Amino acid sequence: MHVVAPLKGQIQYRELADMPAYLTSLGARIIDRSDHLLTYEHRGVTVHGVERAQDLSRAVARELEAASTDFALVSNDDPGMMLLSAALRRARVLYLVHTLPQLPFGPRAFYPSESATAMIRRTAGIVSISRATHDYLEEYAGLPSEVIYPDVYSGVSLRDPDPAEQRYVTLVNACQYKGIDLFLAMADALPDVPFLAVEGWGTTDADRAALAARPNIEISPGGDDMDAIYGRTRVLVMPSLWDETFGYCCVEAMLRGVPVLAADVCGMRESKLGVDYVLPVRPIERYPEATSAVLPKGRVPEQDPRPWISTLRGLLSDDDRYQRLARQSRDAATAFVDSLEPDAIERLLIRLRDDVGVAATR
């Protein structure tokens, strides 16, 4: 298997110059570094890490031409649809949808485009990572898809948190898109409770300044070891304001018995797996014309923090209620992960391949 992807996007919190040493420390074997491309092998997968965004489509074309392949799997996190366009010219494509605003249709699209939508219709198949994603594709483009929840949990370190260390109310990727204003309001209302803000792709200097102004908020850099974050977390809050396809962090925290307060938006409610609490927000309805971590004034609706504050206060002050929710969260997440099929995408590819073979014999 060969993967072509932005090098910086693979290890978000590392500098490009540090990548070879870091990858080697994880057991990867560096194959080559030249022409703004770092090629390495890890666990049988050859990865072509592209340093410059403008080189991505050329790298995809080169690898598809060099390889003998039945399918190319293309993520929809592809501004301008350059990767999809390059892949469609050289292979059958299975399209993986995991970011709704990057779709070229529907009310939340960053880049609405009829021609880009037409390209998606030419793919051999579409995978939705949640039921909410599936329904969005159907409603706004009439596109069928296969719902496959990615098994991103198997084989991942899973340490039970030490209750003595679980002190913080935590927000991951503290930024406007993820509801930082509601997080700040909770911290202001509960000054004696320690809060933890984890930086991510959306965190801006203005966000850091607002967080640093609160004495009960600690700022943590993002990193690879999420167990270290969950190990310090008493409650995870996810007051996201945009169209989440699915809340991976939600399930990760619940697996460890960490209660989660999540926004009632799109796939976020799905990731709560029927466990309390799903709380109201006013979601972002209009995005900038280009993706940006900074939303223009007026794009973030004013929020009512009262349901979040009262729910969090009640949960932190009632240990029986907290322990009950922690058990329910762990049980639901464990059952969900046990139900996942790690080879689901492989089986779908085989079915699509065989369907072509059957059609060719008719």
Q: Which residues pair with 217 in a beta bridge?
A: 195
Asked if residue 135 lies in contact with residue 103, where contact means CB atoms within 8 angstroms, the answer is no
Q: For 67, left (φ over 0), alpha (ψ -120 to 50), or beta?
A: beta
3: helix, strand or coil: strand
> Could you tell me the two tokens for 301?
């609706």
Q: What is the pLDDT of residues 313-329, one digit of tens each?
A: 999 999 999 999 999 99
Q: Which residues pair with 72 in a beta bridge?
A: 93
Q: What is the pLDDT of residues 52-93, one digit of tens each?
A: 888 888 889 888 888 778 799 999 988 788 899 999 999 999
At 262, the amino acid letter reads: A
Q: Which residues pair with 94 in a beta bridge?
A: 73, 125
User: What are the structural domains, with CATH classification, of the chain?
Assistant: 2-147 (no CATH), 168-339 (3.40.50.2000)
Asked if residue 218 lies in contact with residue 195, where contact means CB atoms within 8 angstroms, the answer is yes
- Give the residue carrying structure tokens 């960490």: 258
Query: Is residue 358 predicted with pLDDT exceeding 50?
Result: no
Sign of CA dihedral 223, 227, 233, 237: positive
User: What does the pLDDT read at residue 362?
Assistant: 44
Q: What is the pLDDT of residues 189-235, one digit of tens each?
A: 999 999 999 999 899 999 999 999 999 999 999 887 889 999 999 99
**What count of other Cβ atoms lies within 10 Å of the Cβ of residue 275?**
20
What is the distance between the alpha carbons of residues 79 and 97, in angstroms, rounded to a whole number? 13
Query: Is residue 332 predicted with pLDDT exceeding 60?
Result: yes
The pLDDT-based confidence of 9 (bands split at 50, 70, 90) is low
The pLDDT-based confidence of 282 (bands split at 50, 70, 90) is very high
> Could you tell me the two tokens for 283?
């979601």
Average pLDDT, the chain: 90
| Among candidate residues 113, 107, 137, 111, the one with its CA nearest the CA of residue 125 | 137
